[in-house]
Amino acid sequence: MNLLSGMEKFGFSMDGELDILADDKPKKKAEVAKKAAPVVKQEKDFIIDKKVRCPVCDKEFTIKAVLATKLKRLEPDFDLRPNYEHVDKCKYDFISCPKCGYSALDTTFSKIDTARVKLIRAEFCPSFKPQQEELGETYSYEYSIEKFKLALICTMKKRAKMSEKAYVCLKIAWLRRAQLKELEGNKDADPKVVEMIKKEYDGFYAQAYEGFMKAISQETPPYCGMASEAVEFMLANMSVYYKKYDAAMKIIARLIQSASTSRKLKDKCVELKEKIVAEQGE
């Protein structure tokens, strides 16, 4: 017997026997097997819009920022370049004012004193030409590199410390290296573009190396917010990259002998020392 017979006049056609416990009964195996397709995360899923006020022209503008708490850290490069799953965070490590052009590392953008503000207004802003920009959901490598180059000009105009200038050069080099990795095996890549990217990588990397080597001999740590041990270990690896083994060995010896160097870092220094010995023996 259909207990809900007569409900047709209300528009409900209830076929079969009434069973109010049906929803609580175990589902059939076929139904349980149905699973939602896995969600593939993309770079845009980790990016938010953030309001920033320029300390030079006092204008407010919007930037793209990374939700760092959601990122999964991966193994860094040999020179401590940080890597993350789904996102190249280095692309977002700058802030650039679209109104006056003042640009800097995101960690130093607001840390500018009155004297340097005057220098930027006098020696940078008059030459800056604002550009019409249509941004997507994320930053491209070329866009970020352009802004880092503006930041480099600003660091020179405001008479910044050598460590800050070197760090901006290093960021540009890291971004160019990432581009080269993307182009590896791409048969359609324009050889001229690849050559340009490689030249810029080599050029900015050399500037970063020489700049940091000078900074550790002239400045008091931290260097642009980085601990001295991290910078020196990075320089030891960069020295190996340039086959400057004597310079690398001196830095390694200094780190191993220092009481402030962590056990983990000392172990890495020993590994790097063994690598140098192996390379010299080849």
- What is the pLDDT at residue 16? 66
Could you tell me if 148 and 155 are in contact, meaning their C-beta atoms sit under 8 angstroms apart?
no
Dig out the tokens for 120 from the structure: 């930027």
For residue 192, the model assigns a pLDDT of 95
Q: Looking at residue 19, what is its pLDDT?
A: 67
In this predicted structure, the answer to whether residue 33 has a pLDDT above a threshold of 80 is no
Tokens of 71: 């990122």
Residue 172, phi-psi category: left (phi > 0), alpha (psi -120 to 50), beta (remainder): alpha
CB-hemisphere CA count at 13 Å for 27? Answer: 7
pLDDT score for 134? 80
Specify the pLDDT at position 23. 64
Range with the poorest average pLDDT among 22-36, 96-110, 203-217, 242-256: 22-36
pLDDT at 241: 97
pTM: predicted TM-score of the whole model, two decimal places:
0.85
Share of the chain above pLDDT 90, in %: 80
Percentage of the chain exceeding pLDDT 70: 87
**pLDDT score, position 262:** 96
Is the Cβ–Cβ distance between 173 and 149 less than 8 Å? no
- The rounded Cα 190 to chain-centroid distance in angstroms is 25
Tell me: pLDDT of 48 over 90.
yes
Phi, psi of 134 (to 5 degrees): -115, 100
Angle at 166 between CA 92 and CA 176, to 5 degrees: 50
pLDDT at 3: 67
Residues ≥6 apart with Cβ < 8 Å to 121: 56, 100
Average pLDDT over residues 142-163: 97
